[in-house]
């Protein structure tokens, strides 16, 4: 079993966790969950591109963009969980190594800031688009 760095895993989750980089690092190329990470992320990016090209009235983009936000939020949550795992437990699971130090702590702080902003933005976007859709349906029904 190869040793895995908790600090590196935290930062991989922070920077490329929505693509599954931290899972590939920790569990290898055979990890099914790691291979499932990029697809919703890419669909969310496609939604962003659709909205840039077609404008805010594109309903498919409304559905796809929250996928990107949720994938980014789950990556930040993974970074927080990895970074806050006690060193003893980490060493028992991923090999004995040196203590993680401040690198993992700084990664957790960054993940908290980014994850909070992304999650709030995703919820606000989804809620706004839902209520806009409701208003559009009401206008259509009224006449």
How does pLDDT run across 75-117, given as a tens digit for each residue? 999 999 999 999 889 988 988 677 778 999 999 999 999 999 9
Radius of gyration for the chain, computed over Cα atoms and rounded to the nearest angstrom: 19
What would the DSSP string read from start to end of 4-48? --HHHHHHHHHHHGGGTHHHHHHH-TT-HHHHHSHHHHHHHHHHH
Q: What are the phi and psi torsion angles at 86 (to 5°)?
A: -60, 145
In the block, tokens 């980089």 appear at 21
Is residue 1's pLDDT more than 70? Answer: no
- Residue 62's SS3 state is helix
pTM: 0.87
Which residues fall within 8 angstroms of residue 48, CB to CB, at 6 or more apart?
A: 61, 64, 65, 68
pLDDT score of 19:
96
């Amino acid at each position: 079993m190869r040793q895995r760095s908790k600090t590196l895993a935290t930062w991989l989750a922070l920077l490329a966790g929505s693509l599954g980089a931290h899972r590939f690092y920790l569990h290898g190329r055979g990890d099914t969950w790691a291979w499932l990470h990029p697809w919703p992320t890419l669909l969310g990016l496609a939604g962003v591109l659709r909205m840039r090209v077609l404008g805010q009235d594109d309903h498919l983009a409304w559905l796809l963009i929250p996928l990107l936000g949720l994938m980014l939020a789950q990556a930040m949550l993974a970074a927080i969980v990895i970074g806050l795992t006690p060193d003893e437990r980490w060493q028992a699971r991923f090999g004995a190594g040196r203590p993680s130090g401040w690198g993992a702590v700084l990664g957790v702080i960054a993940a908290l800031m980014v994850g909070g902003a992304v999650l709030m933005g995703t919820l606000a976007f989804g809620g706004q688009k839902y209520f806009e859709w409701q208003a559009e349906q009401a206008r259509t029904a009224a006449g």
